[in-house]
Chains A and B, each alone.
Chain A
């Protein structure tokens, strides 16, 4: 394209130029054009499939034919509330809560260091260290953990070398969380969950802490607050939206996962595994759908409670 070739078009007020002017004068039109495709995707494909799923949870399965009966009923939810199924729900929610709390406890100091102290190279190293595990395959990481936690694995060997076998045995002998080996105990499941989801806690907390200006902590010290008081009254409340965002990730990802508890842990089922089984081999999509409503409900309750406590007031 030479200048000579474009000049006549400009003089004739070509269609491109007129369209550009129209868009310039009507900013909303450009916005609609830009947003329409992603909104359609989000609305139809993304939310549409979610609502289709929720709809299914109000259907039921005919006991004799095994066919789905497309009539509204609450009988599927009655099935969900049986003792065996509630057991699965409570186990999953308990694991998700434990993983979330552990992620918050481990992630917060790391995020705090990265946001407040790390500069230049240290900051780059922090980002790489956090992101690096996300670059490799989820399955590979989980199987690697299986090797680490197995009875003949790295942890057992290391405990033997350090003459700490008694400690490992003591931990494994704990009720509920213990087991024959770490790879077949809830403790192992939780360890791997924490490892896999930790970055999703660290990054939002770090982003929230980055936004707390240094002058705020100086102001609280200036007004007489010791570092622990500054932390409690200024830093923690302002970082809490980040913790809430991170906990949404860690909680819902743990709640829906079906691979990790299948590979590491006490073979007792979690929600994700049950959903997989119900909609696959058992062909009971309504009950599978009803199971998926549980995490959504739990998150809704959690976020409402967090909002009531004022967690998002500073946003």
Chain B
């Protein structure tokens, strides 16, 4: 079963803390060289999964494989993975380059080579001129880069990132997203990225695993997660969704199951505009209006019952007022029937 193209494999892995099932019988694979995100709300088990890969936690049950070998009982220092910590965890008593060279020092790489490789790595994360500083003298963004360099200098087979951008401000975060992705392509190492920010996960990842209550709800590409959410939880957590319950679904579309519908996939038809061929048409009344800049969000009460959010681009549509009667339409294939009960 040694499959080199699988970097990490969870085989019915559980991690319980007393009666809390932080990770509950989870099985999935992370492919070699991919940018894999674990997305979920706090307490969903994503960070515990990361810590299981790092070896800070050992599974209560099941097996964890790194490149085909079972590491279920292997301590962190014997695993070929490195971590970028949420709080960066830089050693305060060492200079920046000593921090980066720490892993090399432990592996007894001679000092001149240690220094050279640390400086190379610092240059790669654009911190070449700060090698002699202490972590306390750096900004949050710079510390983050040092943490990244310290992990990458060991050329691990898997790099684990625990919400590394969480403490940065929005602009810096967006810039770092781009950089991280470019860096991952450059070094070709498997990145496993934990985040609760769905925008971040969608923007950076090759594949995303959505976690909820210690279980994996769905694993797929960002566009598939967004376009075809498998469960009500995924539809609600990733992006905004209208959740339509089974009763209303029957009245609107003759469906027997609840479905999810993205607000931007609903069109408000102009006067006399024909309904597209494969679409459903529903009459409603505008209930609330929120101007969002590039778009406007309307809350529309539907004539057959229920209400949906509709997001309309502010390109050339006339603004609607509360109380105004509108006709809505959406393509049948944009309504995604959900497994399990509707929210």
Contact = CB atoms under 8 A, between A and B. Distances in A.
B106 A224 contact: yes
Given A215-B85, A229-B106, A221 B91 contact: no
Interface string A272-315: 00000000000000000000000000000000000000100110
Contact of B89 (A216, A224, A238): A216
Given A223-B103, A224-B106, A310 B89 contact: no
B93 A223 contact: no
Contact of A215 (B55, B87, B151): B87
B89 A218 contact: yes
B54 interface: yes
Nearest to A238: B93
A222 B90 CA distance: 12
B87 A222 contact: no
Contacts of A224: 77, 103, 106-107, 154
Contacts of A234: 91
Interface string A217-236: 01111111110010001100
A225 B93 contact: no
A65 B91 CA distance: 64
Contacts of A223: 77, 82, 102-103, 106, 150-151, 154
A224 B81 CA distance: 9
B83 interface: yes
Contacts of A225: 77, 102, 106
Interface string B70-81: 000001110001
Contacts of A220: 91, 102, 106
B110 interface: no
Contacts of B154: 223-224
A262 interface: no
A215 B76 contact: no
Interface in B147-183: 150-151, 154
B77 A215 contact: no
A142 B91 CA distance: 43
A153 interface: no
A221 B76 contact: yes
Contacts of A314: 92-93
B106 A219 contact: no
B107 A219 contact: no
B89 A219 contact: yes
A269 interface: no
A208 B105 CA distance: 25
The DSSP consensus for interface residues of chain A is helix
Interface string B46-58: 0000000011100
B191 to A, nearest CB: 15
A237 interface: yes
Interface residues of B, number: 26
Contacts of B106: 220, 223-225, 229, 233
Contacts of B75: 221
B93 A237 contact: yes
A223 B92 CA distance: 16
A313 B98 CA distance: 14
User: Interface size class for chain A?
Assistant: 20 to 34
A16 interface: no
Q: Point out which of B77, B87, B134 has the most chain A C-beta atoms below 10 A from its C-beta.
A: B77
A213 interface: yes
A127 B103 CA distance: 37
B76 A222 contact: yes
A218 B102 contact: no
Q: Point out which of A213, A220, A221, A310 has the most chain B C-beta atoms below 10 A from its C-beta.
A: A221
Given A224-B106, A225-B106, A229-B106, A219 B85 contact: yes
Interface string A198-224: 000000000000000101101111111
A310 B103 contact: no
Nearest to B162: A215
A148 B250 CA distance: 89
Contact of A310 (B54, B86, B93): B93
B91 A216 contact: yes
A219 B84 CA distance: 8
A158 B83 CA distance: 54
Nearest to A312: B93
Contacts of B87: 213, 215
B77 A221 contact: yes
A224 B155 CA distance: 12
A222 B54 contact: yes
A224 B105 CA distance: 10
Nearest to B92: A314
A307 to B, nearest CB: 13
A191 B45 CA distance: 51
A312 B81 CA distance: 32
Contacts of A233: 102, 105-106
Contacts of A229: 106
Interface in B33-74: 54-56
B77 A218 contact: no
Contacts of B82: 222-223
Interface in B273-329: none
Contact of A218 (B81, B85, B90): B85
A313 to B, nearest CB: 5
A223 B106 CA distance: 8
Contacts of B81: 222
B76 A218 contact: yes
Given A213-B87, A215-B89, A218-B89, 13 more contacts: A216-B89, A216-B91, A218-B56, A219-B90, A220-B102, A221-B55, A223-B102, A223-B106, A223-B150, A226-B77, A233-B105, A234-B91, A237-B93
11 contacts: A213-B89, A216-B89, A218-B54, A221-B55, A221-B77, A222-B76, A222-B81, A233-B102, A234-B91, A310-B93, A313-B93
Q: List the 8 closest pairs (A to B, CB-CB), nearest first.
A: A223-B103, A215-B89, A219-B89, A314-B93, A221-B76, A224-B106, A314-B92, A222-B83
